A and B are shown apart, each in its own frame.
Chain A
Amino acid sequence: MIWANAVIQGVLVGGLYALFACGLSLMFGVMRIVNLAHGDFAVLAAFLAYSVISATGMSLLWAAVLTVPVFAVFGYFVQRGMLNRAMTGGALPPLLATFGLSVLIQNSLLQGYTADSRALSPGSIGTESIRINSQTSLSYLSLLVLGSAVVVLGGLEIYLRRGRTGRMLRAASDDPRATSLVGGNPRHLYGIATALAFGTLALAGLLFAARSSVAPSSGPSELLFGFEAVVIGGLGSLWGTLLGGIALGIAQNVAGQANPADTLLAGHLLFLLVLILRPEGMLPRRRPA
């Protein structure tokens, strides 16, 4: 039963990895941008929420309701003000730009908040849980995290498959010039993709901080989990990302059950195994013939 518990807890944390990673997948899928500051923006969102909560005493839920749209708008302007410009120079400038943002955010947070870890209190749901048996109990917070991951990823999938603008995002991913010939402004569409990515990463950042804690320097390690979830699941497929996140969570938890020191190593090994044996990932996007 200990092992079943490890698997279940792995599934629960995997949802969070997937929620965090879907923005990474979206930005790469639509614009071929690898956002190296993805983890740092999530940490930034958590710290801003921390400040808002400290100052006003509002609950985590309301802080999320406030932070997520603010970050989405912020993402739109990061894309239009900076990344669109960087993209005209090829693949390298956006990579350098986001690397620069990563350094900037980490050091600003260090300056403003010191190097201490902070946690966001989720309130009473942080301690309550459903008890299955003596070894397994599901905390409300973990269930909430997995539930929101499924809802957000499912919503994004429907938006991209069925929505008018979602369809244009896929079109822009195929051929930006042809997109402008049907009246879509690629720069605006890229802004929307980044806005979606920033909204989801802000939510993931808050949930990371509510589950455990974040420090100004935790962005890059979160980014690594995000990359691993995306690659294990298969690039460009949101359900694949969910599967990848869950696989990563299970690998980490099961290995951690055997030997806590191996937790992270097991995730990295799974990532390498997938790269070697099935580089297209578990659920790759169907490629046009």
Chain B
Amino acid sequence: MNALLEVENLSVRHGQLVAVSELSLVVNAGQVVAVIGANGAGKSTLLETIAGLLHAAQGRVVLDGTDVTRLPAHRRLRAGIALVPEGRRLFPSLTVRENLQTGQYRKRPGPWDLPAVYELFPWLPERSGQRASALSGGEQQAVALARALLGNPRVLLLDELSLGLAPVVIANVYRTLPRIVAQGTAVLLVEQDVNLALRSADHVHCLLEGRIRLSGAPAALTRDQIEAAYFGVLREAS
């Protein structure tokens, strides 16, 4: 298998708190890997550390054989790691089109350009002159995803795409995932919605208090196993 992103023995601290502890995982090209877990399990911290927004206390982040642990966020984007952050983080005073254009500021060569993302989200062109802050939550999420895609990342990190969105909107955004990985992009996503993660991922890691408690293909995991790993309580089968 072609490991595109390798996280090795990663630990991250927020002051005294160890948010991520000795965590290792691998994402292959064209694969969707999901990290699930309760609030505060360290999911967002994990993604922000891979993206370079937070510093690792220990361990390595390796992109296609190159150690990027010491690179700041803007250099990691140029190397091919793009994060769609929690809460979208669009530029509110810029128009939709300008937000998309910021995604092309340091773009890598690849299949994603404005026509390609317009095809992915056909409603985008007619909204392109509006300020990003005037869009609904789901529309903002789509713009944030499109902005990340326009950089032609090799690894796409998705932080809680579903947060605060209506189920039908979530389904629309998640429907784009197969087309994204079909281009050879690796996707590592973090989700609080377990069913959504199980449906869309090839491989799932369940995180509890910064450690991976359970890993496997969605089909190979039972409800009870996931529940136990998610909440950290082992219910005896009686």
Binding site for B on A (CB under 8 A): 164, 167-168, 170-171, 173-175, 177-186, 285-289
Contacts and interface: CB of A to CB of B under 8 A. Distances in A.
Given A170-B93, A175-B91, A184 B102 contact: yes
27 contacts: A167-B102, A167-B105, A171-B94, A175-B89, A175-B91, A178-B85, A178-B91, A180-B52, A180-B53, A181-B74, A181-B77, A181-B83, A182-B103, A182-B106, A182-B147, A182-B151, A183-B74, A183-B77, A183-B105, A183-B106, A184-B74, A184-B102, A184-B105, A185-B72, A288-B93, A288-B131, A289-B133
B91 A174 contact: yes
In this complex, which of B83, B92, B93 has the most chain A Cβ atoms within 10 angstroms of its Cβ? B93
Contact of B92 (A167, A174, A181): A174
Nearest to B92: A288
Given A171-B91, A178-B85, A182-B77, A288 B102 contact: no
B134 interface: yes
B92 A185 contact: no
B98 A167 contact: yes
B226 interface: no
Interface of B: 51-53, 72-74, 77-78, 82-83, 85, 89-94, 98, 101-103, 105-107, 131-134, 147-148, 151
Contacts of A175: 89, 91
A184 B106 contact: yes
A80 B102 CA distance: 22
Contacts of B51: 181
B105 A170 contact: no
A289 to B, nearest CB: 5
Contacts of A167: 94, 98, 101-102, 105
B129 to A, nearest CB: 13
A239 B74 CA distance: 32
Contacts of B91: 170-171, 174-175, 178-179
Contacts of B94: 167, 170-171, 174
Contacts of B151: 182-183
Contacts of B93: 170, 173-174, 285-288
Contacts of B92: 174, 288
A177 B98 contact: no
A183 B147 CA distance: 11
Which interface residue of A183, A184, A285, A289 has the most chain B CB atoms within 10 A?
Answer: A183
Contacts of B89: 175, 177-178, 181
B131 A182 contact: no
A181 B101 contact: no
Contacts of A285: 93
With most chain B CB atoms within 10 A of its CB, the pick from A179, A287, A288 is A288
Contacts of A164: 101, 105
A174 B88 CA distance: 13
Contact of A180 (B73, B90, B98): B73
Of B78, B90, B148, chain A has the most CB atoms within 10 Å of the CB of: B90
Nearest to A287: B93
